[in-house]
Structure 1
């Protein structure tokens, strides 16, 4: 299989509908954002430099075999991978790892564009076994966590991470947080806290448009309420 790479932008939406079908197939409803959030992210990418939003596609001819989305967070010189998925028909062929590496490459380019020598960390959220509904979903959850570990991501254990509710009627969602330090050092807890705050501000507030009070509640529950997203207009 020869993978070619493309990126979705607000001016280049080819294959976008294919991505949405794969997205709805792969991810549990609790962690699926409304489709329009992707469009908001693409507008963000155009107007929020040096921060960025990357929407990567892996193609085998015209077949979509993978996709990934992620943000470069200039404030902490870190990348945040929001979603990464491969077509179930092509799993176990190295497509996921290649997609992850390509996304890391793009986020590193963003760090250099922002004036840094390179990206320092990449962080991502992934579902826990507690939130799966079927034995198949449990198996996929275990495989997903193992996949990140094989690609040198380490689970964060010192912080009980909460994703803010993506839907108004939901509560914050406990998720696993994985981090890859590109400097070959151990990322300290305070740095992880700062990255979480940047994710909340750049992704969940400015892109998703989640209310500050809701975000502040989630930060409080993680004991991170000393950071900047406070209740108010």
Structure 2
């Protein structure tokens, strides 16, 4: 049915999933750091975090991807040449894709986590500190579980958008699902078949993700007043 390209598409789908998960890891780390910076007392940190979120959310994802891959590659080679390194340095498309997508969605998750932090009643943190709990124990036992419950709907939405945004990485040569679908479509002259297959794969990924987030939401809602299990 797929003219022998089934295995190739499966490998591309796996590459896409790994890319999305690695990007999510970076986005989560940047989101937490950005949220803490926005909530800090330091005017400098708040300004840097605000500049980060404002700039990233204003520039199209594709522009950032091309800027990081091609512009970053030119910049790295220019610096290397000035330092006496004569060989040309290639940026790995996977690394560039992960870094760019993680950096982009870190800005969105900054706002998600900031709102979730603010939704946790400050009196609970103060009570925990009054009982002698350290900053890490207050965060891990009091703040983080409640913050995750508040952040989960927006986090799920951002994950779904991030997953679909991995399609743009094909423009920099990464052999992901869309890249392999494009090669197969060009070789067989059946674009509807292969791009349709790619669409179904993305639909499967997002459907499974939605089920997983729904189950996690029900689990986090256990014991919360007014929750529906």
Query: The TM-score by the shorter chain falls in which range?
Result: under 0.3
Structure with the larger RCO, 1 or 2 (CA within 8 Å, 6+ apart): 2
How does the TM-score come out when normalised to structure 1?
0.26
Higher-Rg structure is: 2
Considering fraction of residues, name the structure with more helix: 2
Using the size of structure 2 for normalisation, the TM-score is: 0.27
Higher strand share goes to which structure?
1
